[in-house]
Amino acid sequence: MNLPKLGNRAALLICSALALSLTSPVPLQLMAWTADALQATAFPAKRVLMVSPATVDLDGDGSLESVELVDGRAIIRREDADLWTSPEDWQVIQGSISDLNHDDQPEVALLLWREFAPWPVDAYMLHPGRIQDFHDAHNRSCHLILIGWRSQTFREIWAGSALSDPITAFSAVDIDGDGRQELIALEGTYDRNKRVARAITVWDWNGFGFTLRWRSLGGRFQTLTAAHIHDGPIFLIVQGLARR
């Protein structure tokens, strides 16, 4: 689907990628999808526009909603009205308007931490516990969850199990130009610096969840931002260094 153009707040994110690369204490890399992998490319001299829709009509009523993070809680808002708030025991670290499940309806993708829970089916399996180590020392696990408007209410429409490698940041963009969004993620490890990732990954929606398409060799990464020049192809601005 085509998500709406950026609102006024997102338009303020227009900046020079070249200037950022010169002033940031941690190196910035520009990466683009070429053939079957993300590859580093040169920074353009032109200004770039960050790809981050600020508002969208999530419930089909003709009014625009936004997602905001307040003290670790995600809130879906319409002007001054709070329409949905994430559970208190979720520690939400990122929220983004997306269509990662390719159903042509915008949803809110949330990256969060919550109390680890094993698969319910483990109680009936001969060899349970396939995800038993997917949590930190405080028994908290990392998840990606999609929140959408269904049956006249906002609800979870897809919730991933505890991730084997926690995500530190993500972007939902059509990185390869096929008309469908991919999940671009920075992946770290449990019980290490949760702000620093060790790999960049690209995931495709398979109808039930996500399938890994590509993973970088490794490195140290801190932030991830999708951008484009006017209506050109999307590329990624990654803060950090990749292993060569």
Would you state the pLDDT for residue 231?
Answer: 72
What is the rounded CA–CA span in Å between residue 220 and residue 189?
Answer: 12
What's the pLDDT tens digit per position in 157-194?
999 999 999 999 999 999 999 999 999 999 999 987 77
Q: Looking at the chain, which runs of residues are DSSP E strands?
A: 28-34, 37-41, 49-50, 66-70, 73-78, 81-85, 91-98, 107-115, 140-150, 153-159, 167-173, 182-187, 199-205, 210-215, 219-228, 234-242
Question: For residue 208, what are the contacts with CB-CB under 8 A and spacing of at least 6?
Answer: none
Half-sphere exposure of 213 (CA within 13 A, CB side): 19
What's the pLDDT tens digit per position in 11-57?
334 344 444 444 556 788 899 999 899 998 888 777 777 777 789 99
Would you state the pLDDT for residue 44?
Answer: 76
Would you state the pLDDT for residue 136?
Answer: 94
- Which residues does residue 129 pair with via DSSP β-bridges, in sequence order? none
DSSP string, 5-67: PP-HHHHTT-B-HHHHHHH-SS-EEEEEEETTEEEEEPPPSS-BEE-----B-SSSSS--BEE
What are the sequence ranges of the domains in the chain?
27-242
Confidence of residue 2 (pLDDT cuts 50, 70, 90): low
Would you state the pLDDT for residue 118?
Answer: 75
237 or 218, which is more confident? 237
Q: Give the mean model confidence (pLDDT) for residues 211-239.
A: 89
- Which residues does residue 10 pair with via DSSP β-bridges, in sequence order? none
What's the pLDDT tens digit per position in 106-128?
999 999 999 998 766 655 555 55
What is the rounded CA–CA span in Å between residue 73 and residue 228?
Answer: 29
**What number of residues does the chain have?**
244
Mean pLDDT score across all residues of the chain: 86
Would you state the pLDDT for residue 130?
Answer: 75
Q: Give the mean model confidence (pLDDT) for residues 56-67.
A: 96
Rg of the chain, C-alpha, whole Å: 18
What is the rounded CA–CA span in Å between residue 143 and residue 165?
Answer: 10
Task: Return the SS3 of 84.
Answer: strand
Would you state the pLDDT for residue 228?
Answer: 84
